Amino acid sequence: MDQFVTLQMIDAATAVVRERIDIKPKVGLILGSGLGGLAEAVFNPKIIAYQEIPHWPVPTIQGHAGRLVAGHLFGMPTLVMQGRVHFYEGYPMDQVTFPIRVMQRLGVQLIILTNAAGAINPEFMPGDVMLITDHIALIGMAGVNPLRGPNLDAFGERFPDMSQVYTRKMQAIARSAAEKKQIAVREGVYVCLSGPSFESPADLRFLQTIGADAVGMSTVPEAIVARHGRTQVLGLSGISNKANLDGSTETTHEEVLMAGEVIVPKLTGIIQGVLESPDLDL
């Protein structure tokens, strides 16, 4: 059998993080490509480089700083991940999702997942924010599921339910936060592919046919592991580019990073509204 992440590895990392921070985090926030600026809103931050935490996966690409920032975010004790790793970098899925396990051991009740994504829905434009209402675990269904391997019983059951990964309640809180701040949000289904190559026009027409509104290379594995451990999930995609359904334009990593500048203020507003919401019960 393959080697998988163990509870001992998770607890070794958890002990180091716990030692270095002075909050008891209730919320975990993962910042996607080009979205790292949101960590600046953290009050009284304690910063840990991923390299300093045992077994913690370290990003290899531009736009992902690789730091854990712990402090109060809009009054809520929060652990912010400035950068994440992806499957395409070469990490197995249980390592990609390792930080979620550590957050769960630290007592985090809500994980906010953000990402940069390509728009498949023709109405979406670069700079838009999309509330994730559901996902298509395309590579998970094809065998690359983060829960593959011995079940970690300390977190959840072997066959976990995924009927409301992005709970209706969290969606409603985010929707009303955006409305109050007059930030326009799209809503839709996110599909996760392996990458690192972007999609061909035929790939994109296939993804449109199966019901995806936005496409990216992250978030879904983390959301599955969060739900396995009964942690609430809120998912927000920053639309960085229009997916190229007819093959007439090219997609680049630079445009993905640039769109982040427009998206960060919108995401900050929505996340502030969520964390300050009286309906949030953590």
> To the nearest whole angstrom, how small is the minimum distance from the Cβ of residue 43 to ligand HPA?
30
Q: Which residues contact 3 (CB under 8 A, 6 or more apart)?
A: none
Structure tokens at 28: 């975990």
Supply the minimum distance, in Å, between the C-beta of residue 34 and ligand HPA.
9
The closest alpha carbon to 59, from 181, 218, 172, belongs to 218
Q: Which of residues 221-260 bind ligand HPA (CB under 6 A)?
A: 240-241, 243, 251, 256
Tell me, by CB under 6 A, how many residues bind ligand HPA. Answer: 13
Sign of the Cα torsion 143, 144, 150, 153 reads negative
Q: Annotated catalytic sites, by residue? A: 33, 64, 86, 88-89, 116, 217-218, 241, 253
Footprint (CB under 6 A) of ligand HPA, residues 97-126: 116-118
The residue from 9, 29, 38, 215 that contacts ligand HPA (CB under 6 A) is: 215
Of 112 and 204, which has the nearer Cβ to ligand HPA? 204
- Which of 128, 148, 103 minimizes the C-alpha distance to 214? 128
Task: By CB under 6 A, name the one of 216, 229, 235, 273 that touches ligand HPA.
Answer: 216
Whether the CB-CB separation of 170 and 234 falls below 8 Å is answered with yes
Closer residue to ligand HPA, CB minimum distance, 14 or 114: 114
- Supply the minimum distance, in Å, between the C-beta of residue 243 and ligand HPA: 5
**Beta-bridge partner residues of 242:** 119
Q: Which span (76-84, 211-219, 222-230, 273-281) binds ligand HPA, by CB under 6 A?
A: 211-219
Residues 148-207 that bind ligand HPA (CB under 6 A): 198-199
Q: Is residue 14 a contact point for ligand HPA (CB under 6 A)?
A: no
| Beta carbon nearer to ligand HPA, 236 or 256 | 256
CA distance 256 to 47: 26
Report in angstroms how near the CB of residue 126 gets to ligand HPA at its nearest.
Answer: 9
- 95/93 Cα distance (integer angstroms): 5
Q: Nearest approach, Cβ of 113 to ligand HPA (angstroms)?
A: 14
CB 229 within 8 A of CB 204: no
Residue with CB nearest ligand HPA? 118
Residues that bind ligand HPA (CB under 6 A): 116-118, 198-199, 215-217, 240-241, 243, 251, 256
